[in-house]
Amino acid sequence: MTGDTTDAALVVAARSGSDAAFARLVGRHQQAVRRFLGRVCLNDADAEDVAQDAFLSAWTKLRELRDPALFRSWLFGMAWRKAKTAARGAVRGRERDTAWQADRPQDTTPETEMNLALQQAMTQLPDDQRAAVALCLGAGWSHGDAAGILEMPLGTVKSHVTRGRARLEQILGVRDER
């Protein structure tokens, strides 16, 4: 396989039994999936668990993917559904997260402080809104792609992003000069 092989070609090869093709798909998308889940789950350990679960499910359900060219969106959708499932039973996990944040050593650099403040502010957004903000503002996905991944109407995603941005600005005390 060449270095410019498409996701669709890799999916076809993986469906034919090529572990190497699936490994290339994982390598190609794992950083973005983990970054997305890190924003959605708000706990690095949970995000890692969900990412592993999503990739395992992708491997076992690869034959269910209707259009191999849509592998990335399908994978992100699967990761989102896995995150929602994990969040349903995570009430105690959120309490642990809050305690961990309080005990976390604080770096005094402004960038680190802002990242911690943003991460804490994201916890105050509703789950669906947080996911839309993480995809569109954090990961650079279009509203349309995010709508497909999150299985929401386009207008709902746009509303979530707009309201989420406004809420984050309010929480952080900043205003975006647009």
Q: What is the DSSP letter of 135?
A: I
Q: Answer whether 0.85 is exceeded by the pTM.
A: no
Listed ranges 85-89, 104-108, 151-155; the one with the highest mean pLDDT? 151-155
Residue spans of the domains in the chain: they are 1-104, 106-178
- Average the pLDDT over 160-169 and give the result: 90
Please give the structure tokens belonging to residue 121. Answer: 């502010």
**The residue type at 10:** L
Q: d(Cα 118, Cα 74) in Å, to the nearest integer?
A: 28
* Residue 2 clears pLDDT 90, i.e. is over it: no
Q: d(Cα 83, Cα 137) in Å, to the nearest integer?
A: 19
CATH code of the domain made up of 106-178: 1.10.10.10
Question: Is CATH 1.10.1740.10 the right assignment for the domain spanning 1-104?
Answer: yes
Q: Could you tell me the pLDDT band of residue 119, with boundaries at 50, 70 and 90?
A: confident
Q: d(Cα 54, Cα 164) in Å, to the nearest integer?
A: 26
